[in-house]
Amino acid sequence: MQSSVSDDDHTLDLPTIRQVDISEPLRWLEAGWQDFRRMSLFSGFYGLVFILLGYALTAATWQSPILVMTFVTGFFLISPFLALGLYHLSRQREQGVSVSFMQSLLAFRERQFDMALLVTFHAVVMVAWIRLTTLLSALYLSGTSSSVSVLIDELFNTPEGLGMFALFVLTGAALAILVFVISVVSWPMLLDRQSGVINAVATSVQVVNHNKLVMVLWAVLIVGLLSIGLATLYLGLLIIMPVLGHATWHAYRSLVA
């Protein structure tokens, strides 16, 4: 069930936001899965890229266990941007045109300036996350964690480690919520419409404001599925990231008139 909500801020010329039923996120995932099935070769390529990116970041930071943990959790902060090509594939399929893998790779070129501004936002958040985790590690941990297993042992078996972990979760959740509110529909909207980044971000905020319970469920599903992907040593991202990317396009089409 859907109903429309006109936005009060006409100065930004925002589109009409729909209020949707609590069951809609499951429909978005189903639609995302259908897109993945029908474009499995192209979608699977993106999934493989996500896996290789995870391995590359882990290998590059392996000597610093706290950075391994930082970059693994950082997937939640940069995934909206990484899925841009998947939004483009779903858009092409929806329009009934021939699906072009090369065009999906070059989707960023359609709105370079506005997208660059949104990329900058994600980059700033990621840098802030790295700085915060490094600071927390310096304040609470001994600095002798020589491996991820030693770091985990110190986190969960010392008072300082438990305190650091609690702050790690709280600050990470705060940044993830910020990213979610800003980007839940802004990336697909920039790809789909001739609207500036301010309008896209404002629309995203209004979507969350008008569909609070639905957005909570959607966020929980995203975090849960990404966590499964990360817990499988990134292998689950082969399917999970493409399905979520395609589903995000369908969420945008459902929520924004």
Q: What is the pLDDT of residues 126-140, one digit of tens each?
A: 999 999 988 888 887
Nearest to 47 by CA among 255, 254, 232: 232
- pLDDT value of residue 136: 86
Q: What confidence category does residue 227 fall into, taking pLDDT thresholds of 50, 70 and 90? A: very high
Task: Quote the strand ranges of the chain, DSSP E.
Answer: 2-5, 17-20
Question: Is pLDDT at 79 greater than 60 in this prediction?
Answer: yes
CA–CA–CA angle 173, 224, 145 (5° rounding) = 60
What amino acid occupies position 1?
M
The most confident of 67-76, 153-162, 228-237, by mean pLDDT: 228-237
Is the Cβ–Cβ distance between 256 and 30 less than 8 Å? no
Q: Which residue has the higher pLDDT, 224 or 7?
A: 224
Provide CB contacts within 8 A for 169, sequence distance 6+: none
What amino acid occupies position 236?
G
- pLDDT value of residue 9: 44
What amino acid occupies position 70?
T
Is the Cβ–Cβ distance between 104 and 191 less than 8 Å? no
Question: Is pLDDT at 2 greater than 70 in this prediction?
Answer: no
Return mean pLDDT, the chain. Answer: 89
Question: Is pLDDT at 143 greater than 80 in this prediction?
Answer: no
Residue 169 parent element (H or E)? helix 159-183
User: CA–CA distance from 251 to each of 119, 199, 219, 224, 229 (Å)?
Assistant: 21, 18, 12, 17, 21
C-alpha 217, offset from chain centre: 15
The most confident of 54-63, 144-153, 231-240, by mean pLDDT: 231-240
Q: Span 66-78, mean pLDDT?
A: 86
The secondary structure of residue 10, as a DSSP letter, is G
How many Å apart are CA 152 and CA 167, to the nearest integer?
A: 15
Q: With the CA atoms of 100, 103, 104 and 105 taken in that order, what torsion angle do they form, in degrees rounded to the nearest 10?
A: 130
pTM of the predicted structure, to 2 decimals:
0.89
User: CA–CA distance from 173 to each of 123, 126, 170, 180, 250 (Å)?
Assistant: 17, 13, 5, 10, 25
Residue 101: CB atoms within 10 A of its CB come to: 16
Q: What confidence category does residue 144 fall into, taking pLDDT thresholds of 50, 70 and 90? A: low
Nearest to 53 by CA among 191, 230, 176: 230
Q: Span 85-111, mean pLDDT?
A: 87
Structure tokens at 210: 């008008």
Structure tokens at 50: 């996500």
Q: What confidence category does residue 195 fall into, taking pLDDT thresholds of 50, 70 and 90? A: confident
For the chain, percent of residues with pLDDT exceeding 90: 61
DSSP states along 19-60: EE-TTHHHHHHHHHHHHHHHTHHHHHHHHHHHHHHHHHHHHH
Domain ranges in the chain? 2-255
Q: Span 197-210, mean pLDDT?
A: 96
Comparing 3-17, 18-32, 78-92, the range with the smallest average pLDDT is 3-17
- pLDDT value of residue 8: 46
The secondary structure of residue 233, as a DSSP letter, is T
Is the Cβ–Cβ distance between 221 and 168 less than 8 Å? no
